[in-house]
Amino acid sequence: MSILNFDFSKEIQRLKKEKNAIILAHNYQISQVQEVADFIGDSLKLSRLAGETDASYIVFCGVHFMAETASIISPDKKVLIPDLEAGCSLASSINPKELLKWKNENPNAVVVSYVNTSAEIKALSDYCCTSSNAVKVVKSIPADQPVLFLPDMFLGAYVAEETKRNNIKIWPGECHVHAGITDKDINSMLAKYSNAEFMVHPECSCTSSTLYHVSKGDINKDCKILSTEGMMKEARESKNNQFLIATEVGILHRMQEENPSKEFIPVKNDAVCKYMKKITVEKVHNSLINDVYEVKVPEKIARKAIIPIERMLAIT
Ligand code: 13P
Ligand code: SF4
């Protein structure tokens, strides 16, 4: 059979059964990958699912830190990522040496790490959080205790604002995709679609200023700051029919599929994460056939990294 006629989806379904595998896909994956997945979700939902499954294999269609988190939570499962180059510019913005130095300079601080970090960074942290629970996690820490929040500065600024804490130090990291969604993009789209409901991911560089303008009444509109799964829920439950979405554009596929009568408009069409797009159905198939590429966190690191992850899972 020529490769052009090969039905990858059908073969993937067969291999999943044969190997007792599940496919987890992040909301930013390309549509064909979302369609072969068993579950689609945000970082928090996928972490929980990785901990609950009784499958022998987890094929993680997302980026490397997500597969690492699944391996830490489920050390007895074989976790595969279809392409090892699916990294994350935000996770790469801090290394263990830098964190150790920061901790030494702030010996009494509690370290809260966004889940978009390597396993080594998690192993040096007190709490993990995702975009859907960052505010709750920081609120759970006694108000007089200093916090080091890393690595996303826009999420950090949002958390500081929501918790009204002035004892948070924030690492100056950013996601190049979300940092590129600016005030200018928001303002021109709001002018064009004045009736649309407006949702923003907290990693966007426009998050703090948008919140500020909404609170001052300069933007005459409700703005919802949500994780990708929070956006999915809002799209489902809202009575509105038109939505402006400020995040990576991959999420629009699932939004439109699940809500065919509603209209979803990206604030920025070229907000594309090249790492998330590394995964294809061909690579998922290869992953299942050849057991590649296994993501296994060394036990010494995993034993420490599980502590902040479990603290996070217990809070939400
Ligand atoms: P979510 O947890 O909201 O899915 O975000 C993950 C991510 O990488 C955003 O860029
Ligand atoms: Fe990392 Fe940004 Fe891609 Fe999310 S969108 S995986 S934060 S580079």
How confident is the model over 275-312, as pLDDT tens digits? 999 999 999 999 999 999 999 999 999 999 999 999 99
Return the higher-pLDDT residue of 232 and 212.
232
Q: Which ligand is nearest to the CA of 91?
A: 2
Residue whose CA is at the smallest distance from ligand 1 atom 2? 43
Which pLDDT does position 6 carry in this prediction? 87
Residue whose CA is at the smallest distance from ligand 2 atom 8? 88
> With pLDDT > 70 as the criterion, what percentage of the chain qualifies?
96
Which atom of ligand 1 lies nearest, measured to the CA of 27?
A: 4
Domains of the chain: 8-87+276-297 (3.40.50.10800), 91-175 (3.40.50.10800), 178-266 (3.40.50.10800)
In which band, very low, low, confident or very high, does the pLDDT at 198 lie, cut at 50, 70 and 90?
Answer: very high
Whole-angstrom Cα distance, residue 119 to residue 67? 10
Of 59-68, 114-123, 146-155, 198-207, the range with the lowest mean pLDDT is 198-207
Which atom of ligand 2 lies nearest, measured to the CA of 152?
A: 7
Do 58 and 70 form a contact (C-beta atoms < 8 A)?
A: yes
Radius of gyration of the chain (CA): 20
How confident is the model over 68-96, as pLDDT tens digits? 999 999 999 999 999 999 999 999 999 99
Q: Which ligand is nearest to the CA of 90?
A: 2
Which pLDDT does position 141 carry in this prediction? 97
In which band, very low, low, confident or very high, does the pLDDT at 3 lie, cut at 50, 70 and 90?
Answer: low
Residue 43, ligand 1, Cβ within 6 A: yes
Instruction: Name the packing angle between helices 228-237 and 251-258 (round to 10°).
Output: 20
CA of 116 to the centre of ligand 1 (A): 8
> Residue 315: is its pLDDT beyond 90?
no
Which pLDDT does position 183 carry in this prediction? 86
Q: Which ligand is nearest to the CA of 27?
A: 1
Which pLDDT does position 285 carry in this prediction? 98
Q: Which ligand is nearest to the CA of 272?
A: 2
Torsion of CA 132, 153, 98, 112, to 10 degrees: -30
Which pLDDT does position 117 carry in this prediction? 98
Mean pLDDT of 91-103: 98
Whole-angstrom Cα distance, residue 252 to residue 266? 8
Of 171-175, 257-261, 312-316, the range with the lowest mean pLDDT is 312-316
CA of 5 to the centre of ligand 2 (A): 33
Residue whose CA is at the smallest distance from ligand 2 atom 5? 273
Residue 90 CA to chain centroid, in angstroms? 11
> Residue 212: is its pLDDT beyond 80?
no
Give the residues surrounding ligand 2 with Cβ less than 6 Å away. Answer: 63, 88-90, 116, 175, 177-178, 248, 273, 275-276
Give the predicted TM-score (pTM) of the model.
Answer: 0.95
Residue whose CA is at the smallest distance from ligand 1 atom 6? 43
Contacts of 94 (CB under 8 A, 6+ apart): 117, 121, 150, 151, 171, 173
What are the Cα distances from residue 266, in Å, to 115, 201, 238, 314? 25, 12, 17, 34
Residue whose CA is at the smallest distance from ligand 1 atom 4? 42
